[in-house]
Amino acid sequence: MAQSVQNILERLLKRLTLRSALGEAEQRCILELPGRTIRVSPGYDVVRIGERVTHSCIVVDGMLGRFGQNVAAQRQVTALYLPGDMANLYSVVVPEARSALQACVPTTILQIPHAALREAAANFPAIAEAFWRECVIDAAVLSEWVLNVGRRNALSRAAHLICEMACRFEAAGIGSRTSFPFSLTQERLGDVLALTSVHVNRTLKVLRDDRIADVTQRGTVIHDWAKLVHVAEFDPDYLQLRSKTNGHGVRAALEPIRLSS
């Protein structure tokens, strides 16, 4: 709980190097980013719509959700951010917030000034590229979510969310693939899944009765991963969580920018 800023930045660095190759100087630059941690309660708006954002934040502990809203005051979560995630890295290049960022549970965040992130990106093109890549992967996850909401029914959609959370919690080093501290009220789950809380309840009941997974206030436990994946039509590739910086993939692709800077 009481993690030092240093620990958090190491976790961020681990996340970045999973997908982008960073040299020693660049890694040091990331670890030396300035920032201050704040702790917020569930429902607290870290960013409000229309606000001009000056800091990006890393989730240290807890969970943040990105929200859109229609006139009927129905909310729709468009992204969930776990410990180690840069929740609004994109605000560095588009500082006018078009969606809110809200704590889903008691949450600690580390706020890093845009100026520091820009300076890091300016000094190290590989960092600029890593930031760009993180934003693109964020969009890929969002893209999968459109497919989810548009083309899967409530059961499959809920199962898909659980699969995604399982993979992301595991990658973040929190809990295991089959048991992790993912717990939202059914109301908030409805905001994520585009369902009413009543239907969320019925859907979770099916997953429970079929002995596939339990999603409760005390966390999530998966009893039958294979069946869950099947119901969800889940393919984890889009999360880009498997390291690629050791093969010839990303590293090779990076070279042109590296060489000419």
Partner DNA sequence: CGATTGTTTGACGGGTCTCAAACTAAGTGG
Partner DNA sequence: CCACTTAGTTTGAGACCCGTCAAACAATCG
State in angstroms the smallest separation of the CB of 140 from a copy of itself. Answer: 6
Structural contact between residues 46 and 57, judged by C-beta atoms closer than 8 angstroms: yes
**Beta bridge mates, 68:** 76
- State the sign of the Cα–Cα–Cα–Cα dihedral 120, 124, 130, 133: positive
| Residue that is written with structure tokens 């369902």 in the block | 195
Binding mask 207-246 for DNA (x = CB under 7 A): ----------x-----------------------------
- In the complex with a copy of itself, which residue's Cβ is closer, 74 or 176? 74
- Dist CA 88 CA 95 (whole Å): 9
Report if residue 187 touches DNA, rule: CB under 7 A. Answer: yes
Report if residue 152 touches a copy of itself, rule: CB under 8 A. Answer: yes
- From candidates 194, 221, 241, 253, binder to DNA by CB under 7 A: 194
Binding mask 178-207 for a copy of itself (x = CB under 8 A): ----------------x-------------
**3-state SS assignment for residue 105:** coil
Indicate the residue type of 134.
E
Report if residue 139 touches a copy of itself, rule: CB under 8 A. Answer: yes
- Dist CA 139 CA 83 (whole Å): 18
- Dist CA 19 CA 241 (whole Å): 8
**3-state SS assignment for residue 164:** helix
Report if residue 247 touches a copy of itself, rule: CB under 8 A. Answer: no
Structural contact between residues 222 and 160, judged by C-beta atoms closer than 8 angstroms: no
Two tokens, residue 214: 């339990």
Report if residue 149 touches DNA, rule: CB under 7 A. Answer: no
- In the complex with a copy of itself, which residue's Cβ is closer, 118 or 223? 118
- Dist CA 160 CA 222 (whole Å): 12
Site for a copy of itself (CB under 8 A): how many residues? 59
In the complex, which residues of this chain contact DNA (CB under 7 A)?
153-155, 185-187, 194-199, 201-202, 204-205, 217
In the complex, which residues of this chain contact a copy of itself (CB under 8 A)?
66, 68-72, 74, 76, 78-79, 90, 93-96, 98-99, 114-115, 118-119, 121-123, 125, 128-129, 131-133, 135-140, 142-147, 149-152, 194, 233, 237-238, 240, 249, 253, 256-261
